[in-house]
Amino acid sequence: MPFYIFGKNYICKQGKALICLYKWEIPGVKTTNKQQNNCMKTVDDFNFKGKQALIRVDFNVPLDKDLKVTDANRIEAAKPTIEKILEDGGSVVLMSHLGRPEGREEKFSLKHVVSKVAEVVGVEPKFVNDCIGDEVKAAADDLEPGEILLLENLRYHKEEKAGDEDFAKKLSELGDIYVNDAFGTAHRAHASTTVVAKFFEDKCFGYLLAKEIKSLDKVLHSKEKPVTAVLGGAKVSSKITVIENILDKIDNLIIGGGMTYTFILAKGGKIGNSLVEEDKQELALEILKKAEEKNVQVHLPVDSVIADSFSEEANTKIEKVDAIPDGWMGLDVGPDTLKNFEAVIKESKIILWNGPLGVFEMDKFSKGTIELGHAIANATKNGAFSLVGGGDSVAAVKKFGFEDKVSYVSTGGGAMLEMLEGKSLPGIAAISQ
């Protein structure tokens, strides 16, 4: 019977770790051992009975002026992992950052989220006023199975962001098994997200982080075809590394948003006063050439909703994307473009969407983004896998109510972009290696 040997300390037997049978390529994680790369430990690989889990969660939630949590999504996202550990008969120490405090700023205290955690998880967490120190250690040692301890904001200590080893070691003394369930900070080599892992023999991904990795893997290493990436948003320059990295993995590249006009200008079109990065024209042409070499079909807009000012009060009309008069700017894709894009999406089996197709914040220029959302939702209903990620596309999906109609909405903007760029995420590498 085959054994998969991964890492120095682990031998994972075929029968137990089903996860090994599902081939997970971890985007951006370079390791010398192929099997290791394919075996990701999750909380399902451990029985937490009598064990204490130290979980890095992302409770960086928005608070209103009365310091009440206004959006508990991130707490809800961590619930399955916490529940699994408690149901096993374990105890849980939760650590997170909140905002960007300069020292001990009261408004960034995690005590403001205690009641929301209690409401969401159904267990009132104990709270300590710090995340390291004797009092914290004593509170952690006193924890009984079924109980939760929430630590104070990690970023009250500058050692957290500095990835300080001593600080990480002190954190590591608060649990038996380290669980990382914070995708939003997985691209940071901070003490609690990365460095702390080295002090644990037993460490794994929480459900949320595992789902993020699995979803991205599905897009980047899909056997199903065609794979379509929709890249919109403002600038070519912020997406260039992503485009270069994914060209090998996709069949269609749909380009929309402000970056359209750099491509159109580079191809000799007239773009009026549309957003453009003049110095990126050569780069745009290079992308088009590379895409052709790799047999990737690039779908650029053919028409635009153009406006005589960047405002909701602007006069608007539809114009060919390469014939925009001076004084006018393209702020959304036009109807012919949408028809083309919809046809591509309809045929796609895997869809990645990053960046809106227009200035979706203004009603007048939101149609392209909304219609694309509909098309992706329909394709998903018909069996395609769709992943939406990266700041503004997530905001757009939420604003227009597509959140539950796509396969997965990534919770970590920066982390997801770095994974798409093919970079190694320290928080993921620390657990995989």
How many whole angstroms separate alpha carbon 91 and alpha carbon 86?
6
Q: Residue 353: beta bridge partners?
A: 230, 388
Report the site for ligand AMP in 272-291 (rule: CB under 6 A).
Answer: 275
Closest Cα to residue 192, out of 122, 281, 96?
A: 96
Q: Residue 126: beta bridge partners?
A: 149
Least Å distance, CB 44 to ligand AMP, is 34
Q: Where are the alpha helices (DSSP H) in 307-425?
A: 335-347, 367-381, 391-399, 413-420
Least Å distance, CB 373 to ligand AMP, is 14
Name residue, tokens 């008069």. Answer: 325
Q: Is 368 in the active site?
A: no
- Cross-sheet strand order for the sheet of 350-354: 297-299, 252-255, 227-231, 350-354, 385-388, 408-409
Residue 301 touches ligand AMP, criterion: CB under 6 A: no
Least Å distance, CB 323 to ligand AMP, is 16
DSSP label at residue 358? S
- The interface region with ligand AMP, picked from 134-142, 227-235, 376-384, 402-410 by CB under 6 A, is 227-235
In the Cβ-directed half-sphere of 139, how many Cα atoms lie within 13 Å? 22
How many whole angstroms separate alpha carbon 97 and alpha carbon 149?
15
- The interface region with ligand AMP, picked from 20-28, 116-124, 208-216, 234-242 by CB under 6 A, is 234-242
Residue 330 touches ligand AMP, criterion: CB under 6 A: yes
- The interface region with ligand AMP, picked from 4-12, 52-60, 229-237, 285-293 by CB under 6 A, is 229-237
Residue 242 touches ligand AMP, criterion: CB under 6 A: no
The full length of the chain comes to 433
Q: Which helix (H) or strand (E) holds 231?
A: strand 227-231
Q: Which residues, in sequence order, are CB contacts of 123 under 8 Å at separation 6+? A: 86, 146, 147, 148
To 10 degrees, the CA torsion angle through 34, 181, 228, 414?
Answer: -110
| Residue of 28, 41, 56, 74 marked active site | 74
How many whole angstroms separate alpha carbon 318 and alpha carbon 57?
47
Binding mask 344-363 for ligand AMP (x = CB under 6 A): -----------xx-xx-x--
| Residue of 391, 399, 405, 422 marked active site | 391
| Residue of 137, 198, 235, 320 marked active site | 235
How many whole angstroms separate alpha carbon 230 and alpha carbon 219?
12
Output 233 or 426, the one with its CB closest to ligand AMP: 233
Least Å distance, CB 159 to ligand AMP, is 31
Q: Is 235 in the active site?
A: yes
Output 226 or 391, the one with its CB closest to ligand AMP: 391
Report the site for ligand AMP in 55-114 (rule: CB under 6 A).
Answer: none
Output 235 or 290, the one with its CB closest to ligand AMP: 235
Report the Cα 415 to chain-centroid distance in Å: 5
Least Å distance, CB 388 to ligand AMP, is 12
Q: Which amino acid is at 185?
A: T
Output 321 or 428, the one with its CB closest to ligand AMP: 321
| CB atoms inside a 10 Å sphere around CB 70 | 10
Residue 258 touches ligand AMP, criterion: CB under 6 A: yes
Residue 235 touches ligand AMP, criterion: CB under 6 A: yes
Binding mask 373-412 for ligand AMP (x = CB under 6 A): ------------------xx--------------------
Least Å distance, CB 386 to ligand AMP, is 17
Q: Is 414 in the active site?
A: yes
Output 114 or 234, the one with its CB closest to ligand AMP: 234
Output 330 or 426, the one with its CB closest to ligand AMP: 330
Output 125 or 301, the one with its CB closest to ligand AMP: 301
Q: Residue 227: beta bridge partners?
A: 350
Residue 413 touches ligand AMP, criterion: CB under 6 A: no
| Residue of 99, 269, 414, 422 marked active site | 414
Q: Are 226 and 347 in contact (CB under 8 A)?
A: yes
| CB atoms inside a 10 Å sphere around CB 152 | 23
Q: Which residues bind ligand AMP (CB under 6 A)?
A: 233-235, 238, 257-258, 275, 330-331, 355-356, 358-359, 361, 391-392
